[in-house]
Amino acid sequence: MKKTARINASLKFLLTTAIVVSTISNVEAQAVLENSPRLILQITIDQLRGDMPASILDQCRPGGFRYLYENGIIYENAHHRHSSTETVVGHATLATGADPADHGLTSNIWFDRKLGRKVYNIEDDRYELLSHHQGKMGNLQKDPTIQVAKSEGRSPATILTTTFSDELALSTNGKSKIFAVSVKDRGAVPMAGKAGKAFWFSTKTGGFVSSSYYYQALPSWVIKWNQKELSKTYANTHWELLNDQSTYRFGEYDDMPWEINFPGFGVVFPHPYGSADSPLFNTLLTLSPAGDELTNLFTQELILQEELGQDDVTDYLSISFSTTDYIGHIFGASSLEIEDNLLRVDKILSELFEFVDKHIGLDKTLIVFSSDHGTPEVPARLNQFGVEAQYFYPDSVEKQKVIESVKAKFGLGSELISEFSHPYFYLNEQIIREKGLDIHEVSRSIAAELPKIKGIAYAITSIDLLEGKLPDTKLNRQILRNFHPERSGDIYLVLEPHWFVNDFDGLTVASSHGSPWNYDTFVPIIFAGNGLEPKSIFRPVETVDIALTLSQYIRIKAPSGATGSPLIEVLER
C-alpha cells in the first residue's frame, strides 16, 4: 500500500509539474506572439556616415531623427566590415547578414570574364522593366547614371544567399507581405530578396517601376498612383532652403570651388528643377530632397493599398532613401546642400513615423535604421585643414614607369591592364596566355610595384587571397570578406586614406566612397519601436549583426549566409 501511495504521489507530482511547465510555455508563447511586431520597417539612408544624424540633431523637429535617438537602442560604434563600401554591397549585407564574399554582390559593377564585359549588379535580361502605363516598357533610353547595364531588366538572381525577408516569407509560408522601395533599383532589389516585391523610381517616366520578375504587370494601384504624375508638381520650382540660411552650420559655404555644376542645377541655392519637358528633369529630382519625398509618398500609398501590418502575421517593408548619396557625390559631405537635405530627411522621417503610428502603431512596429556606407570629405576641404588628400586616376596607372618595367620584364608591349572596375584591376588575360606566361606570377609582379605609385597604399592579388598567404590584419580581413573568385578582379587596389577616384557611374563627382577606411565603413545602427527601451551602446558592432538579430527577434531561421552576432540589447525585452 505504501509503495502504491508513493507511486501515485510521484505520478501526481509529475502531472502537476507538466501542467505548470505547459502553462508557463503557453504563457511564454502567448507573450512572444503579443510582442511580435506587425511590421518590421527597415530604413536605410544611402551614404549616411554614422556621425551625420547627430550633427544636425539640435535643428531637428520632434518625431524624426529625434524619435530614433530618444526612443531607440543606438549603437554608436557600428561599421560595415567589408572593404568595398558601395551601394549594392551595403544593401545586400544589411539584407542577408552575410559578407560580400558569400552573398556575391562584391561591387556595384564587376567585369564578367565569361561575357567579356562589365555587368551591373542586378541586371537581368530575362525580366523586362514594367511600365507605369501599360506593362512592359520596351526599349527606352538607359538611365544615364548606369552606363554598363545592357538590359533594363532587373532581378535578385545575383544574390547567392537568402535574405532576412526570404526567411520571413518561408517561416510564414508566404503569408508575410514583403516590399522594398527606393529611388535606386539597387537600393530596393536586395532588400526585397527573392520572395518579396521591389519598386524603384524611373528617371525616364517620373514614376515607380518594377520588373517582370515580380509581376506580369504593375498592380492597378501603382498605375493609378503614377498617373497622378506627382513628380511634375516640382516643374518650374526650386529646391530652396528649409530654414533661414544664417541658422545653418554651413550657411556661409554655399558656393565652394569643388562642387559639381550639374547641367541646369547650379551650385548655389535655390537649385532650379526646370521644365518637366527637360530630359534631365527627373534626374534633377533625384539630386535633391524631391526624390526622397516622392519615395515617402509612394511608400505611404503602398502601406495603405497592400494593407501592411493589419493582422498578426509580421510584414516587412524596406525603404531606402537615396538622395543623400547623390547630393553628397555632387556637393560633398560638408556642404550646405547636405545639411539642408538631412533636415528634410528628418522631416520625411517624422511624417513617415506619424503615418505608421496612425495606421499600424509604432508600438507594433519594429524599426531598424542604418546605412549602406559612410562617406569621405572632399579632398580640397581636407586640404584646408592640413590633411593631404587628392583624386586618383586609375587610367594613368598603365603609363607609370613601374608598370612599364613589369611589361619589359615579361616582354609585353600591349596593354597589361584591361579593365579597372572599382576596386579591382583585371589583367589582359589574352595577351598573358599568348605569351605563355603565368598570370599569377604577372599579377604578383604588378602588385609588388603598384604601392610605389603615389596614392596607392596596398595592392593585393586574388591568388594570395585564395591561397591564404596574407597576414591576419584588419584590412586583409576586410578585403577577404569582399572576395568572390568569379566576380573579383586579379588585383585589389587600396588607395591611401583620403585619396579618391572621382567617378560615380561614369560621372565626375566631388567625392566618392568605396574604401575600407573608417569614414566609409562608419554607419548608424538604431532599433526602435515595438516597446524597446532606449539606450546607447558603445561597443563595436557590425552591420552583419542586423539580419541575425531580426531573425532571433521573431524566432525564425537566420539567412543562409548570415555570419553576425545577435545584438543582445534588442533581444532583452
pLDDT at 148: 73
- Cα distance between residue 344 and residue 354, in whole Å: 15
Distances, alpha carbon 558 to alpha carbons 34, 453, 549, in Å: 21, 44, 9
pLDDT at 149: 77
CB atoms within 10 A of CB 189: 34
- Do 288 and 323 form a contact (C-beta atoms < 8 A)? yes
- Do 450 and 491 form a contact (C-beta atoms < 8 A)? yes
CB atoms within 10 A of CB 415: 12
pLDDT at 18: 45
CB under 8 Å to 447, separation ≥6 — which residues?
459, 460, 461, 464, 491
CB under 8 Å to 63, separation ≥6 — which residues?
349, 350, 353, 354
- Cα distance between residue 23 and residue 70, in whole Å: 37
Mark residue 93 as left, alpha or beta (left: phi above 0; alpha: psi -120 to 50; beta: remaining): alpha
Q: Could you tell me where the beta strands, DSSP code E, fall in 486-556? A: 491-495, 499-500, 503-504, 507-508, 522-528, 535-537, 541-542
DSSP 126-142: TSPEEETTTEE--S-PP
Report cis status (omega within 30 of 0) of the bond before 257: no
Q: Specify the fold of 390-497.
A: Gyrase A; domain 2 (3.30.1360)
Going from N- to C-terminal start, the domains of the chain cover: 36-73+81-233+273-383+523-528+550-571, 390-497
**pLDDT digit of tens for each residue in the chain (573 aa)?**
444 444 454 445 444 444 433 443 444 444 455 679 999 999 999 999 999 999 999 999 899 999 999 999 999 999 999 999 999 999 999 999 999 999 999 999 999 999 999 999 999 999 999 975 544 444 333 444 455 777 889 999 999 999 999 999 999 999 999 999 999 999 999 999 999 999 999 999 999 999 999 999 999 999 999 999 999 999 999 999 999 999 999 999 999 999 999 999 999 999 999 999 999 999 999 999 999 999 999 999 999 999 999 999 999 999 999 999 999 999 999 999 999 999 999 999 999 999 999 999 999 999 999 999 999 999 999 999 999 999 999 988 988 999 999 999 999 877 899 999 999 999 999 999 999 999 999 999 999 999 999 999 999 999 999 999 899 999 999 999 999 999 999 999 999 999 998 876 667 899 999 999 999 999 999 999 999 999 999 999 999 999 999 999 999 999 999 999 999 999 997
DSSP letter (8 states) at residue 396: G
pLDDT at 505: 63
CB atoms within 10 A of CB 17: 10
pLDDT at 142: 43
CB under 8 Å to 183, separation ≥6 — which residues?
200, 201, 286, 291, 292, 294, 295, 320, 321, 322, 323
Cα distance from N-terminal residue to C-terminal residue, the chain: 51
pLDDT at 399: 86
Superfamily for the 36-73+81-233+273-383+523-528+550-571 domain: Alkaline Phosphatase, subunit A (3.40.720.10)
CA atoms in the 13 A half-sphere facing the CB of 127: 16
The amino acid occupying position 247 is: T
pLDDT at 338: 98
Characterize the bridge pairing of strands 417-421 and 390-391.
unpaired
Q: How many angstroms separate the most distant Cα atoms in the chain?
A: 103
CA-angle at 491, arms to 487 and 493, nearest 5°? 105
Nearest to 405 by CA among 440, 438, 450, 367: 450
